[in-house]
Amino acid sequence: MSPMSRRQAPRRPRVGVVKFASCDGCQLTMLDLEDELLAITERFDIVEFAEATSNRSEGPYDVLLVEGSISTPEQAEEITRLRREATMLVTIGACATSGGIQALRNLADHDAFRNAVYPRPEWIESLPTSTPVSDHVAVDAELYGCPISGRQLLELLTALTVGRRPQLPDEAVCAECKRLGNPCILVAEGVACLGPVTRTGCGALCPSFGRGCYGCFGPKESANTPALAAWFASLGYDDGEIARLYAKFNVGAPAFHQIVEAKR
């Protein structure tokens, strides 16, 4: 694709930001880029971003950032419509890329929840599973995380304007911990940390504060979650504890899901 830089494209790229089943935190990350926000609004024409502007647009979009998982029949239809309107569709966040924490219901009886919680369950239209956007439409790029990293969002936007491949490495959190000089809490203290099987992007945030990685950026490529689960077991964690480690924000991702299924 050609760069969307000022001198190559006479008009600014039309950008939309939409949400499905999510908490809004990933959209907020763009607004948190305080130093760069002005430059972003100058380079991009933000035509749809309900959280930030009253400008509305049903499309078309040069770039559409999609937050949230597909959780209702209505959302499944809407994402298909939006795919047609978008030249480039980018999913942002754990909900959009793996189904989010609400994908815990994929392992359980969704009807039972509905009946237990709502006085008129028949009025609640929801799908039995919460699924990532990529299960429904083709996706051009993904930003992972819960929430996504502002730095990575900025890199994606810069890559679009400058015309380079976005540098979003698919490597373990461990690589970042080691570059930062964090001693490994799993090795040094036996604290369960999902870092070795989780994609970096957060800057090794939790281990930098002495907490085990929660896996919120989802499994790295070829994540060998069974081998790490076996190690946790040898450290004394029981099956339930191990399952709960993986049953979080990216429980819908196959590499994490398989451990929860096996251990619960």
Partner 1 sequence: MGLDANLAAAWLTHELEPHTRIALAELGRLVSLRPTEVLMREGDPSDALAIVLEGRIGLRLRVPERGQVTILTVEPGDVVGWSAIVPPYRATSTAVALTDSELAVFEGEKLREALAADDKLAAQLYPVLLQAVARRLEGTRLQLLDLFSQRWVEPW
Partner 2 sequence: MVRVSAIEPETWFLPRRRLDELVQALRQGGRDVIGPTVRDGAIMLEPIETASALPSGWGVDNSPGVARLVRRDDERVFDQPPGPTSWKRWTFPPRVTQMAWNGAGESDGDRQPQSATAAPAPMAFLGARACEIAALAIQDRILAGGPVVDPDYVARRRDNLIVAVECAVAGGTCFCTSMGTGPELGGGHDLGLSELDDGFVVRVGSDAGRRIVDGLGLMAATDDQQQTAEDSVAGVRAAMGEPLPMEGVPERLVAAAESPRWAEIAERCLHCTNCTLVCPTCFCTSVSQRSDLDGGSATTERSWESCFTLDFARVAGGNFRTRPEDRYRQWLTHKFGTWWTQFGSSGCVGCGRCIAWCPVGIDVRVETQAVAATAPAPSIARPIVVPASFPAPAPPVTVVGKPARELAWAQALVVDSRRETPDVVTLTLNTDDALLLAGRPGQFVMAALPAVAAPPISVSRFHPDGLQLTIRAAGAATAQICALERGATISLRGPLGRGWPVELAEGRDVMIITGGIGLAPLRPLIDELLARRDRIARIHLAYGARTPADRLYKDELDRLAASGVIDVAQTVDRAGPEWLGRVGVVTQVIDRVLCSCDRTIAFVCGPERMMQATVDVLHERGIPNERIYVTLERHMDCGVGLCGHCQLGPYFVCKDGPVFSLAELGPMFEIEGI
Interaction site with partner 1 (CB under 8 A): 1, 88, 140-141, 159, 164-166
Q: Determine, following the binding rule CB under 8 A, whether residue 23 of this chain makes contact with partner 2.
A: no
Q: Hey, what amino acid is at 161?
A: T
> Could you give the residue ranges of the DSSP H alpha helices within 6-149?
25-31, 34-43, 73-85, 94-98, 110-117
Q: Which does 141 bind (CB under 5 to 8 A by kind): partner 2, partner 1, none?
A: partner 1
> Cα(241)–Cα(218) distance, rounded to whole angstroms?
18
Q: Is 4 within 8 Å of 51 (Cβ atoms)?
A: no
- 105 DSSP 8-state letter: G
Cβ-proximal residues to 254 (8 Å cutoff; 6+ apart), any chain: 219
In the complex with partner 2, the residue whose CB is nearer, 104 or 191, is 191
Give 25's DSSP letter.
Answer: H
Q: Kindly state whether residue 113 participates in binding partner 2, applying the rule CB under 8 A.
A: no
Task: Give the whole-angstrom CA distance, residue 15 versus residue 182.
Answer: 38
Q: Is 37 in the site for partner 2 (CB under 8 A)?
A: no
Q: Which does 178 bind (CB under 5 to 8 A by kind): partner 2, partner 1, none?
A: partner 2
Residue 33 interacts with, from partner 1, partner 2, none (CB under 5-8 Å by kind):
none
Position 89 contacts partner 2 (CB under 8 A): no
Nearer to partner 2, 82 or 153 (CB): 153
Chosen residue from 21, 143, 197, 243 binding partner 2 by CB under 8 A: 197
- Complex with partner 2: residue 102 or 200, whichever CB lies closer: 200
Residue 197 site contact among partner 1, partner 2, none (CB < 5 to 8 Å, cut-off depends on kind): partner 2
- CA distances for 219 relative to 51, 64, 112, angstroms: 29, 24, 30
165 binds partner 2 (CB under 8 A): yes
Instruction: State which amino acid sits at residue 175.
Output: A
> Judged by CB, which is closer to partner 2: 39, or 50?
39
Q: Which of 172, 170, 215, 171 is nearest to 192 (CA)?
A: 215
Residues 203-262 within binding reach of partner 2 (CB under 8 A): 210, 221-224, 227-228, 230-231
Min dist CB 194 to partner 1, Å, is 29
# binding residues, partner 2 (CB under 8 A):
52
- Which of partner 2, partner 1, none does 152 bind, CB closer than 5 to 8 A by kind? none
Cβ distance to partner 1 smaller for residue 52 or 88: 88
Among positive and negative, which fits the CA dihedral 30, 33, 37, 43?
A: negative
Neighbours of 84 (CB within 10 A): 9
Helix axes 254-263, 225-234, angle to 10 degrees: 40
Contacting residues toward partner 2, per CB under 8 A: 1-3, 5-7, 36, 39-40, 43, 154, 157-159, 161-165, 167, 169-172, 174-175, 178-190, 193, 195-197, 210, 221-224, 227-228, 230-231
